[in-house]
Amino acid sequence: MKNSERLNRSRIFYFSLLTFFIIVFGYLLVVLQDLLLPVLMGTLAAYISLPAINYLRRNRIPKALAILILLGAFSFLIFVLGQKIVSVIPSEKEALELRIQLQYKLNENFLAFLGKEDFANEGNIIDDIVGDELDQMFESVNSFLAFDKSEVIEFQNYIDSSLVSERIMFFYSDNLKHTILPAHDIEEENLVENGLLPLVSKIKSTSRIAIFLNAISTWIILPFVFIFILIDEGEIKNFFLSIVPNRYFEMTFATFTNVDQAIGNYLRGTLLQSSLVGLTIFLGLLFIGFNIQAAILIGIVAGISNAIPFLGPVIGLGTGILYAMIVEGIDPMLPFMPDNPLIGVLMVVLTAQFLDNAIFQPLVLGKAVNLHPLVVVIGVTGGSIVGGFWGMLLAIPTIVILKVVISTLYRQAKEYYIIY
């Protein structure tokens, strides 16, 4: 009787403790959601760095020094990549001009595809069959790229200051034929006449500075998470194991070990695989004649997005095609390469994907992720709904962890006769 009462009290205690932890954890996720991504990224970086730490320690380098070396290497790499990315980020004027140029090129290619000289003319058989539907779709694209009222005023200021080239002015005038831009509000025109528009721009830039400082204050936690996880000698795992009843100790320990191994292998394999894909696309774009800044940026985007199954290659291809549509004239390194940048981008991305599927994935990633394609699609879609791009990026690691936890718990529970 006493043993039965003790067992019931133990169950009530552990159930209450578990409920308490779930409530506290859920509350912290809601309140500290801005810190969630930096903490996750710091944790992932630490997992990826474990083999390098062990290698340095085997070469008689103290652990603290090894961590500092890796932190310095990561910081240097991020600084260099950041400098390259910042160098290709357009100014406000350049961003407006790029949108004008992209809209013009899209209209030009769309009309050529339909065999039309203007949107009012009749085209080829494709235009006869699906022309109305395509026109509606493309009208939405034009509306998306068209300037809003404040951008019209801002661009007009550049025109008045003679800062816009004749080529961009030609593109801008042609775009006006296809899209009705918003008319100026009297209030906004008065801002320009009274010289108050610079004040509005100053307010905007101030808000951007505030956003930047807020991002820095949030992401400053990442290196600390990275350092303390690597310094940890098992104290975190021992803490969680200490609160587990003896009956479930071995099962919990096996789960920790399997999750640690699975997520580490997956993250390191995915990082190497994505880096190889990004490097392949970067080199390929250089060979077809893209400038180095654009090749670096597109390679980074393609490499990072490659970690997203199915959708990643589409993002890389789309980024390359968008740049190919606005670039004017390329100079391929080899004579047999195409002069058309669109064909060149398509060849580079297809080559990178072929190498990824035939070499990079089998050799680097292996069978680290053995998931059904339907699970991957649902996971990536759900991740995009929950967390946008970062949700898609972290969806598969989360599914891998859940799969390992559930399968290990189930197997261990049967082995120790907890379930039948």
Q: Strand, helix or coil at 272? A: helix
Tokens in use for 85? 């990315």
Q: What is the pLDDT of residue 180?
A: 42
Mean pLDDT within 22-50:
78
pLDDT surpasses 70 at 185: no
**Domain regions of the chain by residue span:** 1-31, 92-195
pLDDT surpasses 80 at 23: yes
Better-predicted residue by pLDDT, 241 or 378:
378
Q: Strand, helix or coil at 283? A: helix
Better-predicted residue by pLDDT, 279 or 247:
279
Mean pLDDT within 405-413:
79
Q: What is the mean pLDDT of the chain?
A: 76
Express each pLDDT in 115-148 by its tens digit: 877 777 777 888 778 777 777 777 777 777 778 7
Mean pLDDT within 201-206:
42
Please give the Cα distance from 175 to 165 (Å, whole number): 15
pLDDT surpasses 50 at 214: yes
Q: What is the pLDDT of residue 200?
A: 40
Q: What is the pLDDT of residue 248?
A: 73
pLDDT band at 281 (very low <50, low <70, confident <90, very high): very high
pLDDT surpasses 70 at 93: yes
pLDDT surpasses 70 at 2: no
- At residue 119, what are phi and psi to the nearest 5 degrees? -65, -25
Q: What is the pLDDT of residue 280?
A: 93
Looking at 32-46, 195-209, 393-407, which range is the least confident one? 195-209
Q: What is the pLDDT of residue 196?
A: 39
Mean pLDDT within 224-239:
79
CA distances to 96, 156, 192 from 152, rounded to whole Å, are 10, 6, 12
Q: CB-based contacts of 391: which residues, under 8 Å, 6+ apart?
A: 382, 383, 384, 385
CA 368 from centroid of its chain's CA atoms: 21
pLDDT surpasses 80 at 52: yes
Better-predicted residue by pLDDT, 264 or 367:
264
Q: CB-based contacts of 45: which residues, under 8 Å, 6+ apart?
A: 74, 222, 226
- Using the CB atoms, write b or e for 139-159: b if 16+ within 10 Å: eeebeebbbeebbbbbbebee
pLDDT surpasses 80 at 279: yes
Express each pLDDT in 295-339 by its tens digit: 888 888 888 888 887 778 888 888 888 888 777 667 777 777 777
